[in-house]
Chains A and B, each alone.
Chain A
Amino acid sequence: MTEIVQILSRGLGIGSMYALLALGFVIIYKSTRVISFAQPAFMLAGAVLVTYLVGPLGFFVALPLAMLGTAMLGWGVERAAIRPMVGRPAFTVAIITLGIDVIIRVVAGAAIGINLRQVGDPWGLKSTTLFGIEVQQRHLAMIVTMTILVAILFAFFQFTTMGLAMRAAAYDQEAALAQGVSVGGVFSLSWAIAGALAAVGGTFAAIGGSVESTLWIIALVALPVIILGGLDSLPGAVIGGLLVGVVQEVIAFYQQSLPEWLGGNVSILTPYLLMLIVLLVRPYGLFGTREVERV
């Protein structure tokens, strides 16, 4: 029982981080029909920004400021490099985001320098006792943060004018435009939101360690997550993220008892294997909408 709860808390904690990253991908995809491969770079940039701000301001001020900074970065990228590409094939735009990713990652990596940079969070690797079972604080923090952010996002999409506009634009861009929705504004806002979410994801990924330039690889796990949940499904991103996190931790726990030839670290493969299996059965992911194609 103790072990199950520990695995679950670890899995849900890490899964929350994946979910935050995946939400960014999905929000961008829903509004612009493009997968942004620049998310890993935003994640790294956000975490690096936190390491710079945390010294004078403290973690709980630094994190929102870093979110704001990364959101501005996302907004700027959209205006400069993505907006001119409206109407071009989705794949071409996706490759542009790859180029952006490379550039931002080099700059953020250079900002790390040679010293250890930490996000200076209050949790670290400390654990706490919950119903008599020891769980790590950072995982609880991740779950709580994710829940709060998802609730805010839900409220935003459901109850604000801009949220309604974003839903409308995701549903049908032309019709939304005809109703007076600024579709360009929706594009920018979606990139900004995705940037802010990536900053949170990156910061949480660096908790308990230091910010390194290899951090971005974690964001690539979010890609199987969105495919798993369906490219255009926000609940899918959250459920997919949590699912991948939990499955990964379960496999990590039992991998000693797996056959020798599988190697010692098979849990890092689980997101991709899970994605392959789900896709062979459901080509549009668990919650994605099936596209209706016309010639």
Chain B
Amino acid sequence: MLYTAYGQEMALFNTLTKKVMVGLLLVLAAVAPLGLVDKDLKLLATACVTAIGAIGLGLVTGYAGQVSLGHAFFLAVGAYTAAVISGNPEGRTLGFGVQEILIWLPAAGIVAGLAGVIVAPLATRLRGLYLAIVTLGLVFIGEYVLREWSEVTGGTGIGRPAPTPALFGQRLDVATPIFDGYVLTRDQRLYWLMLILLVIFALAARNIARSRVGRAFTSIRDRDIAAGVMGVNLARYKTIAFAVSSFYAGCAGALLYVSVGFFVPDSFNLEMSVLFIAMVLIGGAGSISGAILGAFFFTYLPTLTRQIPSDVISGAATDTPNIFQLQLVLYGALIIGFLLFEPRGLFGLWIRVRNFWKAWPFKY
């Protein structure tokens, strides 16, 4: 892409085609619930929430270049903050009974963001792989705390109810009749909620990325010493990167289990962190749309592998080889394959396709 003006490079959508395509995609996403069954909507809603988390990791790892393997920890902080605020005060686990989403969602983000600020001093002292391993330690410490603090988490393997979303006193997770006996199902309403939130979070992230802060992030990623010499306050911007990323993670964590309605502390483990890293890298590091693509891709991967007929590979967990093993192997192979052959990820594939058709029928 050749930019001829600074404003063009900094624009939210730099070409008309992009504007139209994004508009069309949004319209399609908005009307999707009218034509899809609840099961598909549930998956789509989960993908939207996962995308929020992936965007957050994309900001700190893809844009600011600070490798974090501790994303699951921040998701956990957000999830439990929200669950405690909205939980049933008379329930088995700690809860304050405030179901208003306008309260628990920002609270989850802010508490997770604060956790990010606490971790940030490590990031300002450490670089690269040292930081990756320290943030990995964070996941283990978090796992231990969650396992022991059963008053909040409900304990290993038992878990607690997810936060209940209510907007201005109206529950968003119950089916409501609108007119003429047409009923909006629970999953339709939740899908719209998640979609709207994803759009808000994605736009916010895109705006951070193209602002002064975002440019500071990319300069730190490309060469932190050079950035520091040019006057970018490294400690400050690394802290901001971690805070924003953790805020996103906290919000995603709070929303992740809303449609399932229940979650256990065991889910916030190293695998979750790695999955998010994979989403960012395979989607395409350093781009918001890449992170969203990656999140959708990995949310759908289990569903796709489940389509394989059972006479090709067994669906029972007791057999070997079974579909779950295949799924994991595929996951590993995808990570290796993409990094070897298309380091720009899905986003890079899209660029290849686009460039091919741009010059078609000529080679280049």
Contacts and interface: CB of A to CB of B under 8 A. Distances in A.
Determine if chain A interacts with chain B.
yes
B133 A99 contact: no
A276 interface: yes
A115 B247 CA distance: 45
Interface in B251-296: 270, 274, 277-278, 281
B137 A272 contact: yes
Contacts of A273: 141
Interface string A100-111: 111100110110
A231 B129 contact: yes
B332 A279 contact: no
A223 B339 contact: no
Interface stretch (A67-75, A84-92, A235-243): A84-92
A102 B125 contact: no
A283 to B, nearest CB: 5
A150 interface: no
B129 A94 contact: yes
Contact of B229 (A101, A114, A279, A295): A295
Contact of A81 (B277, B281, B334, B336): B336
A81 B335 CA distance: 11
B91 interface: no
B128 interface: yes
A27 to B, nearest CB: 15
A269 B281 contact: no
A269 B141 contact: yes
A103 B144 CA distance: 26
Tell me what chain A mostly uses at the interface: helix, strand, loop, or mixed. helix
B133 A35 contact: yes
B159 interface: no
Given A99-B332, A100-B332, A279 B67 contact: no
A92 B339 contact: yes
B332 A103 contact: yes
Nearest to A226: B133
A150 to B, nearest CB: 23
B130 A263 contact: no
A269 B129 contact: no
Interface residues of B, number: 43
A90 B281 contact: no
B184 interface: no
A4 interface: no
B144 A91 contact: no
B201 interface: no
Interface string B300-327: 0000000000000000001011000100
B133 A102 contact: no
Interface in B134-166: 134, 136-137, 140-141, 144, 147-148
A223 B132 CA distance: 10
A95 B277 contact: yes
B140 A293 contact: no
B340 interface: yes
Contacts of B329: 102-103, 106-107
Interface residues of A, number: 48
B133 A223 contact: yes
Interface string A214-228: 000000100110110
A92 B136 CA distance: 16
A195 B67 CA distance: 26
Contact of B340 (A84, A91, A263): A84
Nearest to A109: B325
A231 B229 CA distance: 27
Contacts of A262: 148
A35 B129 contact: yes
Contacts of A94: 129, 132
Nearest to B224: A293
Given A224-B137, A263-B144, A295-B223, A92 B343 contact: yes
Contact of A96 (B140, B325, B339): B339
16 contacts: A95-B339, A99-B333, A102-B328, A103-B336, A226-B133, A265-B148, A272-B140, A272-B141, A275-B133, A276-B134, A283-B130, A284-B130, A291-B127, A293-B225, A295-B223, A295-B225
Given A96-B340, A99-B332, A114-B318, 16 more contacts: A81-B336, A85-B340, A92-B343, A98-B332, A99-B334, A99-B335, A109-B325, A224-B137, A263-B144, A265-B144, A275-B134, A276-B122, A280-B125, A283-B125, A295-B225, A295-B226
Interface of A: 35, 81, 84-85, 88, 90-92, 94-96, 98-103, 106-107, 109-110, 113-114, 220, 223-224, 226-227, 231, 262-266, 268-269, 272-273, 275-276, 279-280, 283-284, 291, 293-295
Lowest 8 A-B CB distances belong to which pairs?
A: A99-B335, A263-B148, A102-B332, A272-B137, A103-B332, A99-B332, A99-B336, A106-B328
Interface of B: 67, 121-122, 125-130, 132-134, 136-137, 140-141, 144, 147-148, 223, 225-226, 229, 270, 274, 277-278, 281, 318, 320-321, 325, 328-329, 331-336, 339-340, 343
